[in-house]
C-alpha cells in the first residue's frame, strides 16, 4: 500500500499499461481513494478560477516555470487555498469599491444635471416676479388672476412641493414617465436630461445609457408611489438639496471621494495583477501536478484490495516488448518508496480479447488513423494500414494526375513539414489542425500525383515532350491539324507515359477514356484480390481452416473467373492491338456461352476457357453458401458429445482462437442463424464483386473530370485572356486562373479525390478481410492527459 502511489506514478510516466477496472460493482463514491479524488477536484477548481482571473486580466500562464522544484501535494493544497482566499478577498473588496465608485459617478451626474434644472427654474421665477411687479394694477384681461396675486403676496397659501432625483435607463425612460403620470393621475412634474456618455451601472457593472430625472410631487401618497415605481424600473435615486451653497459643497465632497476611490481601486488592481503574475509563473507546473495526481488516484480506484487490506491487486494489458521496462519501473518504485515488500509482476493467461496496439510514428500515424476511423483491428488481425501507406495516395493520384497540381500540393505540405515543430505547439483552427495532422498523407498524395501526372503527361493540362519526341509525325504537309488520320509512326513508342501527340487530336477523348477505364478495372481487381489474399492469411493465422476452404478459395475463384478474366482480356487486347469488343465478349459469355466469338476472339481456346470459368463461377456460389454452416454444426455436436477434447496446457494462440471464434461450450448453436448469416455473406460477396468492380470506375470518372476542368481553366481563361493583347485583361485572366486553380482543383478536387479514395479502401478493399471489431490500446500515460480529462 505504501508504494502503490509511487508505482502507479512511474507506470504513468512509462505509459505502456492499460489498467482494467476491478471495481465495476462499486460507485465512484464507494471506492478507496474517493476522498483524494475530491481533493484533486477541489484543487483543479481553484486552478480553473486562477486561469479565469488571469484570462480576464490578460495574463498568460508561463510556458516554462521559473523554478522547477518538487512540490509536496499537501503543501500545494494549502498554498492554493491561501491564494484563493486572498484572491477572493481582493475581488470582493474591489467589487465593493467599484460599486461605490460607480454610484459616486452617477451621484456627480445627478448633482450637475439637477443643479442646472434648479438654476434655470430660479432664473425663470425671478424673471417672472420682476415682470409681475412691473405690471400696473388692474390692467384688464392681461392682468394676473386674483389667486396668483394672493399666492405671491401671502407665502402661507403657497403649495410646498417635494422632489426625487436619480438616473433611469434611457430605454425605459418613456415607459417610466407614462407609468408615473398614470399612477399619480398627472399630479407630478417630471424633468429629464440625457447623459451624453453611457455610465457603468453600480448593480450590474455594465455600460448603460441613462437619463437624469427630477420628479416634483405633492403629498406623501404620491411620494410612496414614485419610490415604488423607481424601484421597479431599476432607477437609482440620490439625495439632492435646493440650497446652491450646499450643492457646491456636495459636488466638492463627491469629487474628492471619486479621486480617492480611483487611487484605491488602481492600487488594488495592481496588487491583484502582481498576485496573478506570481501564480502564472507556477501555474502550468501546479496544473500538471494536480492532473497527474488525479489520474493516479483514478487508476488506484480501479485496483482491488486484497483480503488482508494490506496490498493492492491490478490487472492490465501491456505490450510484450514492454515487460522489462515495466519491471524496472516497479523495482524503482519499491526502492524509492522504501517499501519492505516489492511489487509482483506476473503474466496471466486469459480468454479475454486483448486490445490492439500498433506502434506508429509521425509518418505512419495518419495512415493508421484512416483505418481506425473505419474500425479498430481485432487483436493480431492483418492490419490494412501497412498497405494503405502506398495504395491510398496512389489511388488518390490516379484521380488527381497532374504533376503541376502535384507540385503545388507538395509545396504546401513541405511548409507544414518544415514548420512542424513551431506549428505543433500552436493552437490552429479545426480545418488547419486536420490538414497539419495529415501532412505526411498529403505529401505522399502529392508525390504520387506528380508520378501519375508524368504518366498522363499533364502539367496544368498542358502536355510536354519531357522524355523524348513523339512517336508520330505528319505523313505530308496537309496534316497540320494533328489528326490521327494523317499521322504515321516514325519513331519507337514514347518511353514514359502518354504520347503528347494525343492531346489536341480528334481521338484524344476516346483514347484517354479507353485507357483510364481499363486501367481502373485492372487496379480495382488487383486491390480486391489483395484483400481476398489477406483474408487467407487471417484464416491461417487463427487456424480457421473452414474460412480457408469455404470462404477464401471460392471467393478467389468467383472474382477471377469473371473480373480476373476481364483483366486478362484487357491486357491481351493491349498487347495484340486487337479490335475485339470486350463489352460484347463479357455480355455474351453469360447470355450465349456456346456461340462462336467470331471477330471478338482474342486467342485460341478462348471459348473453352470461358465455359470453364463460367462453370467455376457458378460452382463457387454454393461452395461459399452450403458447406460451412453444416460443418460448424457438426463441430458443435462433436464437442457436446465429448468426441473432441482440448489439451490441458493450451497455447496462447489456441486460447485466442477459442475466444475469437466463439467455441465456448455454454453457447447455444442456432443453425438457422448461422445459415442465414452465411447466406447474407454469400449474396453480399456475389453482388459486391460486380458493384465493387464498377465502383473502381470512379478512378476513371474523377481523373477525366480533373483533366477536363484543368483544360477549361487553361483554354477558356488563361489563353483567352492572352489572346486580347491587353495587359489589364491578361492580369485579370491570370488572377482568375490562379484562384480557380487553387479553389476548385487544389481544394475541392483534392477533397473529392480524397473522399473517393477513402471509400475505395473502406468498402471495396477492407470488407474482403477486415473485421475491425477490436478495441484500441489506451494506456495510462501522463503524456496523454489533456485539459478535458479534468
212-259 per-position pLDDT tens digit: 888 888 888 888 988 999 988 888 888 888 777 787 888 888 899 999
**448461422: which residue's cell?**
674
For the chain, what percent of residues have pLDDT higher than 90?
Answer: 55
Closest by Cα among 290, 261, 277, 204 to 53: 277
Residue 153 has pLDDT above 80, yes or no: no
Taking residue 391's Cβ as centre, other Cβ atoms within 10 Å add up to 20
The pLDDT value recorded for residue 480 is 56
Does residue 577 come out as left (phi exceeding 0), alpha (psi in the -120 to 50 range) or beta? left
Ranges of beta strands (E only) in 95-235 are 162-169, 188-194, 199-200, 207-208, 210-217
**pLDDT classification of 191: cutoffs 50, 70, 90:** confident
Q: Note the pLDDT of residue 64.
A: 55
Kindly tell me if the per-residue pLDDT of 107 is higher than 90.
Answer: no
More confident residue, 593 or 124: 593
Polymer length in residues for the chain = 790
pLDDT, mean of residues 552-571: 96
Tell me which of 22-36, 93-107, 233-247, 363-377 is least confident: 233-247
Cell digits for 238?
440620490
Report the pLDDT value the prediction gives residue 787, as an integer from 0 to 100.
61
Average pLDDT over residues 167-182: 89
Q: Tell me the backbone φ, ψ of residue 59, rounded to 5 degrees.
A: -110, 125
In sequence order, which residues have a C-beta less than 8 Å from that of residue 182 and are 6 or more positions away?
Answer: none
Alpha-carbon distance of 593 to 610, in angstroms, equals: 7
Q: Give the pLDDT confidence of 279-323 residue by residue, as tens digits.
A: 999 999 999 999 999 999 999 999 998 777 778 899 999 999 999
pLDDT at 702: 96
CB atoms within 10 A of CB 613: 20
Decide: 781 and 15 in contact? Cβ < 8 Å.
yes
Q: For 470-491, what is the mean pLDDT?
A: 69
Average model confidence (pLDDT) for the chain?
A: 87
39: pLDDT strictly greater than 80: yes
pLDDT at 147: 46
Residue 63: which pLDDT band, with cuts at 50, 70 and 90? low
Position 398 pLDDT exceeds 90? yes
pLDDT of the residue at 314 = 93
| Segment 502-520, tens digit of pLDDT | 888 888 889 999 999 999 9
Closest listed residue to residue 427, CA positions, set 15, 60, 52:
60
Alpha-carbon gap, residue 273 to 282, rounded angstroms: 15
What pLDDT digit, counting tens, does each position of 715-773 carry?
999 999 988 888 999 999 999 999 999 999 999 999 999 999 999 999 999 999 999 99
What is the pLDDT, as a whole number, of residue 664? 44
Q: CB–CB of 632/326 below 8 Å? A: no
How many CB atoms within 10 Å of residue 636? 17
CB 782 within 8 A of CB 289: no
Amino acid at each position: 500500500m505504501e508504494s502503490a502511489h509511487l508505482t502507479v506514478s512511474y507506470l504513468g510516466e512509462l505509459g505502456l499499461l492499460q489498467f482494467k477496472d476491478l471495481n465495476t460493482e462499486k460507485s465512484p463514491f464507494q471506492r478507496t481513494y474517493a476522498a483524494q479524488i475530491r481533493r484533486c477536484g477541489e484543487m483543479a477548481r481553484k486552478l480553473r478560477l486562477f486561469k479565469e482571473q488571469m484570462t480576464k486580466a490578460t495574463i498568460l500562464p508561463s510556458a516554462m516555470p521559473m523554478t522547477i522544484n518538487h512540490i509536496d501535494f499537501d503543501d500545494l493544497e494549502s498554498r492554493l487555498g491561501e491564494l484563493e482566499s486572498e484572491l477572493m478577498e481582493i475581488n470582493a473588496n474591489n467589487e465593493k469599491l467599484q460599486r461605490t465608485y460607480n454610484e459616486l459617478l452617477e451621484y456627480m451626474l445627478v448633482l450637475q444635471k439637477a443643479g442646472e434644472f434648479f438654476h434655470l427654474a430660479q432664473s425663470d421665477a425671478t424673471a417672472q416676479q420682476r415682470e409681475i411687479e412691473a405690471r400696473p394694477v388692474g390692467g384688464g384681461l392681461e392682468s394676473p388672476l386674483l389667486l396668483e396675486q394672493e399666492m405671491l403676496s401671502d407665502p402661507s397659501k403657497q403649495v410646498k412641493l417635494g422632489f426625487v432625483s436619480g438616473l433611469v435607463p434611457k430605454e425605459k425612460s418613456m415607459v417610466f414617465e407614462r407609468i408615473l403620470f398614470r399612477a399619480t393621475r398627472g399630479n407630478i412634474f417630471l424633468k429629464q436630461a440625457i447623459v451624453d456618455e453611457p455610465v457603468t451601472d453600480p448593480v450590474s457593472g455594465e455600460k448603460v445609457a441613462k437619463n437624469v430625472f427630477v420628479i416634483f410631487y405633492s403629498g406623501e401618497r404620491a411620494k410612496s408611489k414614485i419610490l415604488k415605481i423607481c424601484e421597479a424600473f431599476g432607477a437609482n435615486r440620490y439625495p439632492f438639496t435646493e440650497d446652491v451653497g450646499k450643492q457646491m459643497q456636495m459636488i466638492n465632497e463627491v469629487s474628492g471621494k471619486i479621486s480617492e476611490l480611483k487611487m484605491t481601486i488602481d492600487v488594488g488592481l495592481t496588487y491583484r495583477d502582481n498576485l496573478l503574475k506570481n501564480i502564472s509563473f507556477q501555474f502550468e507546473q501546479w496544473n500538471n501536478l494536480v492532473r497527474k495526481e488525479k489520474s493516479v488516484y483514478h487508476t488506484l480506484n480501479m485496483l482491488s484490495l486484497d483480503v488482508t487490506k494490506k496490498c493492492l491487486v491490478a490487472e492490465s494489458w501491456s505490450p510484450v516488448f514492454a515487460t522489462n521496462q515495466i519491471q524496472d519501473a516497479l523495482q524503482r518504485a519499491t526502492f524509492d518508496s522504501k517499501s519492505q515488500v516489492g511489487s509482483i509482476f506476473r503474466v496471466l493467461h486469459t480468454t479475454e480479447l486483448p486490445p490492439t496496439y500498433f506502434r506508429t510514428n509521425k509518418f505512419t500515424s495518419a495512415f493508421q488513423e484512416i483505418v481506425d476511423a473505419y474500425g479498430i483491428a481485432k487483436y493480431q488481425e492483418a492490419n490494412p494500414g501497412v498497405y494503405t501507406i502506398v495504395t491510398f495516395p496512389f489511388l488518390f493520384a490516379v484521380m488527381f494526375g497532374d504533376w503541376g497540381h502535384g507540385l503545388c500540393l507538395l509545396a504546401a505540405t513541405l511548409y507544414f513539414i518544415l514548420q512542424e515543430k513551431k506549428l505543433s505547439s500552436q493552437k490552429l483552427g479545426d480545418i488547419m489542425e486536420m490538414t497539419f495532422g495529415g501532412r505526411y498523407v498529403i505529401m505522399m498524395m502529392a508525390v504520387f500525383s506528380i508520378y501519375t501526372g508524368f504518366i498522363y503527361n499533364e502539367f496544368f493540362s498542358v502536355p510536354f515532350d519531357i522524355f523524348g519526341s513523339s512517336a508520330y509525325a505528319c505523313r505530308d504537309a496537309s496534316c497540320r491539324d494533328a489528326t490521327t488520320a494523317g499521322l504515321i509512326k516514325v519513331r519507337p513508342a514514347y518511353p514514359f507515359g502518354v504520347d503528347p501527340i494525343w492531346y489536341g487530336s480528334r481521338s484524344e477523348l476516346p483514347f484517354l477514356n479507353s485507357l483510364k477505364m481499363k486501367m481502373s478495372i485492372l487496379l480495382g481487381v488487383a486491390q480486391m484480390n489483395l484483400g481476398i489474399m489477406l483474408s487467407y492469411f487471417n484464416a491461417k493465422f487463427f487456424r480457421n481452416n473452414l474460412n480457408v476452404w469455404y470462404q477464401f478459395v471460392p471467393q478467389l475463384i468467383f472474382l477471377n473467373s469473371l473480373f480476373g478474366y476481364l483483366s486478362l482480356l484487357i491486357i491481351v487486347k493491349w498487347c495484340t492491338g486487337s479490335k475485339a469488343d470486350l463489352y460484347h465478349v463479357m455480355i455474351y459469355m453469360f447470355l450465349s456461352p456456346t456461340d462462336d466469338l467470331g471477330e471478338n476472339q482474342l486467342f485460341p481456346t478462348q471459348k473453352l476457357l470461358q465455359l470453364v470459368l463460367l462453370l467455376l463461377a457458378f460452382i463457387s456460389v454454393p461452395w461459399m453458401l452450403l458447406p460451412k454452416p453444416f460443418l460448424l454444426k457438426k463441430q458443435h455436436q462433436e464437442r457436446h458429445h465429448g468426441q473432441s477434447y482440448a489439451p490441458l496446457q493450451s497455447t496462447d494462440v489456441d486460447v485466442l482462437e477459442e475466444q475469437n471464434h466463439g467455441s465456448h461450450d455454454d453457447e447455444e448453436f442456432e443453425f438457422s442463424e448461422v445459415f442465414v448469416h452465411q447466406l447474407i455473406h454469400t449474396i453480399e460477396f456475389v453482388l459486391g464483386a460486380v458493384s465493387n468492380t464498377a465502383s473502381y470506375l470512379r478512378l476513371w470518372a474523377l481523373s477525366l473530370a480533373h483533366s477536363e476542368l484543368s483544360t477549361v481553366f487553361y483554354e477558356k481563361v488563361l489563353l483567352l485572356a492572352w489572346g486580347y493583347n491587353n495587359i489589364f485583361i491578361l492580369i485579370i485572366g491570370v488572377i482568375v486562373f490562379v484562384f480557380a486553380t487553387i479553389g476548385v482543383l487544389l481544394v475541392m478536387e483534392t477533397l473529392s479525390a480524397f473522399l473517393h479514395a477513402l471509400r475505395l479502401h473502406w468498402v471495396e478493399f477492407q470488407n474482403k478481410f477486415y473485421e475491425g471489431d477490436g478495441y484500441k490500446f489506451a494506456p495510462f500515460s501522463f503524456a496523454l492527459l489533456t485539459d478535458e480529462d479534468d
